[in-house]
Structure 1
Amino acid sequence: MRILLTGSSGWLGRFLAPRLREVGHQVLGLDVAPGADTDMIGSVADRATVDAAFAHGIDAVIHAGALHKPDIVRYPIQTFVDVNVTGTLNLLEAARIAGHDRFVFTSTTSLMISQTIRDEAGDAAIWLDEASGPLAPRNIYGVTKLAAEGLCRLYAADHGIGCMVLRTARFFPEDDDTHATPSGENLKANEMLHRRLTVEDAAEAHIMALDRAPELGFDTFILAAPTPFNRSETAELKHDAAAVISRHFPDAAELYARRGWTLPASIGRVYDSGHAERRLGFRCRTGFSEVLDALREDRALPFAHDPSYLSPKEMRPA
């Protein structure tokens, strides 16, 4: 198929575009910033740009382009609405006119985090799955991504487009990657227990969603490395996470100590990706076990770490 990939210059796009080609698809990359896998420069907020992309004979869309949480300090609310909501509508409407049967939308677990959840003030870790709610996003990023999810649901119901909504946990460079104590790598390793996946796994999930969309119709999936924890451990995770981790991974503390790392003392939320495994058939290849394997064997960590990363759109001349 010929796939329109939005956000092709971004962190996910640079991994996803090559994988799409490897599995036999042609890729037309669309982004506001140039990149190795970007063929068209423009915004999805502009319907003429979307129509020009579809003129290339597009068979399906993977909509990974968006304004993200770090962009809140850089762009006004209206720009978030234009890009994340109107841009998604433009793509869905073009897909409807073209008669597409599949559409993959990159969403975020961030929209599930209300201020109360973010504060993590309760006596137990909060267990989050696709049934969690009511949803009350705490910022314009989450609000607009939730609205875009609603558009996907609407177009699936009204027009029969198989829409896969992928709520990705953290897989991209974060502000805390530059921390010294604990280090960014230490933080990433800890998050593989409950709220992170690798960018490579995120890319693979999109490919599987593209394949399964017509069959599944519409669904929403949390994407995160499989957690070793279960709901009965949420209180203990909040008060003594290291003890729970050691129960599941007896040598974790020793392996961490060799590297000068620290296990989390408390875990306040856990993302459950079980629905993606059961219904979509997708399970991340890399999790906390693979991190510990790398520490045991003194080899490279199994996740990308780039504290100097800057979104390509922020590198454009003013």
Structure 2
Amino acid sequence: MRIVLTGSSGRVGRAIFSALAGKHDVVGIDRSPFSTTHLVADFANETLLRSAFEGADAVIHVAALHAPHVGSIPDEEFRRVNVGGTRLVAEAAIAAGVKRLVFTSTTALYGYAVSPASCTWIDEDTPAQPKSIYYRTKLEAERVLEEMAGPELAVRVLRMSRSFPEPGEVMAAYRLHRGVDVRDVADAHLSALTNGDAQFRRYIVSAATPFTKADCKYLATDAASIITLRAPTLAAEFTRRGWSLPASIDRIYHSARAENELEWHPRFGFDEVLAQMDRSSLEVLPPGSDISRKSE
């Protein structure tokens, strides 16, 4: 397949490029130069897109303004890039005869759906309640694509959970309920290029959780006990390393639909986080690292 990948210089885009390379002909677009990028430009340009999409079989649209940009970039620019740009991508894809568009979204747009002092079980049927302009525009972009999907263009939306580097003890615990390895995200995009005939489908992409929906009743107030029960190996590692288990867990992202319909299975759980940290991988930060909370 010939696949056009927007946002190819970013962290997620690079991972997707790596998953595609060697199997498909990939053309990367990004305004920042990188070895995975062939066209260095703002993707939100109709002329550029129509030329790039000529002869393409599929488009993976990753490029966007993100949470760290909130407050430093005007809301109007978020709408231009995240909403208007996504519409341009879909229009250009249809004009070029592209049959499949895979859109990278985020589980963070559930926002206010997570209730304080409780644990919320979140799947694709949970109503999104975004908090910031970033999350609102990602949801608006999803709606644009849902309206435009049809016989000419099948759309797959992947709502990915946290995959950026964080302190090892935080990242390992999150991998139980609200985190995912960026390589698993890339694999899900690869699977979404060819699955099914439906015109529009939406999927949560998160690491496999050991928790059940019934566990939510206890995770909000006694997460350590439930983690010890459901993930004893992780609990033992936390003890060995002198770390404290989380006292509470406020959400669980459930990706069963993606596993079933995409035939996608996340490969990298908390054990991989610990292994990466032990070999000083840049994918995991040292325990106790102070990070920007704008990535929330």
TM-score normalised to structure 1 length? 0.84
Shift of 1:160: 3.6
SS of the residue 1:216 aligns to: coil
Which amino acid is 1:156 matched to?
A: A
**2:157 equivalent to 1:165:** yes
CA distance in structure 1 between the partners assigned to 2:36 and 2:271 by the alignment: 32
Deviations 1:130-187 (A, max 9, x none): 0001x22111111111111112111213x441100000001124xxx3xxxxxx1111
CA distance in 1, matches of 2:235, 2:101: 43
Alignment partner of 1:229 is 2:229 = no
Aligned counterpart, 1:199: 182
CA shift at 1:15, angstroms? Answer: 1.5
Q: Is there any run of 5+ residues in structure 2 with no aligned partner, and where? A: 290-296
8 Å CA contact 1:198–1:304 kept in 2: the answer is no
Task: Report the alpha carbon displacement of residue 90 of structure 1 after superposing the two structures with TM.
Answer: 0.7
In structure 2, the residue matched to 1:181 is none
2:119 aligned to which of 117, 125, 139: 125
Tell me the CA shift for residue 30 of structure 1: 0.3
Structure-to-structure mapping, 1:79-158, within 5 angstroms: 79-114=77-112, 117=114, 120-122=115-117, 124-133=118-127, 135-157=128-150
Matches within 5 A, 1:1-318: 1-22=1-22, 24-55=23-54, 57-114=55-112, 117=114, 120-122=115-117, 124-133=118-127, 135-157=128-150, 159-173=151-165, 177=166, 184-212=167-195, 215-288=197-270, 294=275, 300=279, 304-305=283-284
Question: 5+ residue gaps in structure 1?
Answer: 178-183, 309-318
CA gap 1:226/1:139 in 2 versus in 1, 3 angstroms: same
> Which residue of structure 1 aligns with residue 294 of structure 2?
none
Question: Percent sequence identity over matched residues?
Answer: 41
CA distance in 2, matches of 1:69, 1:40: 25
User: 1:185–1:267: structure 2 CA closer, same or farther, 3 Å change rule?
Assistant: same
Distance 1:238 1:71 in 2: 31
TM-score (norm 2): 0.90
Matches of 2:221 and 2:130, distance apart in 1 = 26
- 1:42-95 superposed Cα distances (whole Å, 9 cap, x missing partner): 11222222223224x322100011111111132110111111111111110011
Which of 31-40 and 256-265 deviates more? 256-265
Residues 50 and 95, structure 2, Cα contact 8 Å, conserved in 1: no
Residues 9, 37 of structure 1: 8 Å contact kept: yes
CA deviation after TM superposition for structure 1 residue 291, in Å: 5.0
Q: CA deviation at 1:224?
A: 0.3
Q: RMSD of the TM alignment (CA)?
A: 2.2
